[in-house]
Amino acid sequence: MIITRAPFRVSFCGGGSDLPSFYEQYGGCVLGTTIRKYMYLTIHNYFHRNQIRLKYSQTETVKNYDEIEHKYFKQCLKDFGIMGVEISSMADIPSGTGLGSSSSFTVALLHLLHTYKGEYVSKYKLAKDACEVEIDKLGEPIGKQDQFAAAFGGLKFYEFQSSGFVNVEPIIMKPESYKELEDNILMFYIGGVHSASAILKEQSQSVKSKHKTKVQQQMCHLTRTLKEELQKNHVDAMGELLHENWMLKKSLASGISNPFIDETYEKAMNAGALGGKLLGAGGAGFMIFYVKPEQQEKVRKGLSHLREMNFEMDNSGASIVFFDKENI
């Protein structure tokens, strides 16, 4: 048996500039981290060597690739030419909640299949190939940040060049600054699921608007500013820059926010949060807020109707959790 995992991501600033419609013209950048919540996949040989069994939210047993309903499994297994296996997936957090789960799944699956075939694969190739599967082959109208975050892990600055190359740069701070950042971010589940594709498709089209293009460029400027401030160990800059980024992001597509999200954000800010945002494309899932320790209980009280999730940063990226070559 082989087990791989890939982390979920939290994007702080710059989301949307990783869409090809934007970065191919202007270049883009995103600053974010991965968290200690993961997508897991397992593989072992199936008893019936001419079949494939897949277990996720449902179970499929098929005799050829074209019978597979799950489009990510279908594409990847067909690409690798693998038969006679049983693959299971499980996750710490449900899909559609703004944490890049589909890309975490794709990265973990590619890592699993390469390992099954006895092939080493770099983190950059994992991310690049996951982008190819999701964007080029399956036609998802999404960006590149999720795949690179899932593969590399950690607190990173991603620069999306017009050529398609992605530069990955770690944010280097003092150990106590990382701890301060972790301690000052509160994360809440607001419920619901969203279709990232629908919202990102609208956001991608917004590049045709000069005003919205300018907004996205302002968000890139904020992202570079946040990178500089964190590298100076000015952790509290996160609060104000999160707020500015969220105010800009809301204007890019109609489905990003709604009255409930706006009300939740206002409650947190009135209780002492310095800034925050909804995670992912928009409409549902998780919100984060940057809150100094002395204000945290007040914010928690103001948002007591929501489920809080512990915020811990991951630094591992895609990894092999278990490998038993004798019993694959």
Instruction: Answer yes or no: are the C-beta atoms of 94 and 193 closer than 8 Å.
Output: yes
In angstroms, the first-to-last Cα distance of the chain is: 4
Phi, then psi, of 60 in degrees rounded to 5: -120, 135
**CATH architecture of the domain formed by 2-171+315-327:** 2-Layer Sandwich (3.30)
Cα separation, 302 vs 308, whole angstroms: 12
With b meaning 16 or more CB within 10 Å and e meaning fewer, what string describes 181-204? bbebbbbbbbeeebebeebbbbbb
Residue, of 278 and 252, whose pLDDT is higher = 278
CA atoms within 13 A on the CB side of 297: 1
- Using 50, 70 and 90 to split pLDDT, how confident is the model at 206? low
Same fold, 2-171+315-327 and 175-311: no
What's the one-letter identity of residue 212?
K
Mean pLDDT in residue range 280-286: 84
Q: Is the pLDDT of residue 192 over 90?
A: no
Q: What is the pLDDT of residues 31-90, one digit of tens each?
A: 999 999 999 999 999 999 999 999 999 999 999 999 999 999 999 999 999 999 999 999
Instruction: Answer yes or no: are the C-beta atoms of 201 and 241 closer than 8 Å.
Output: no
The angle formed by the CA atoms of residues 289, 243 and 284, to the nearest 5 degrees, is: 60
Q: Strand (E) positions, 97-192? A: 156-160, 166-170, 185-191
**CATH architecture of the domain formed by 175-311:** 2-Layer Sandwich (3.30)
- Using 50, 70 and 90 to split pLDDT, how confident is the model at 129? very high
Taking the domains of the chain in order of start, what are their residue ranges?
2-171+315-327, 175-311
Instruction: Answer yes or no: are the C-beta atoms of 90 and 54 closer than 8 Å.
Output: no
Residue, of 185 and 254, whose pLDDT is higher = 185
The residue among 325, 226, 222, 241 whose CA lies nearest residue 288 is 241
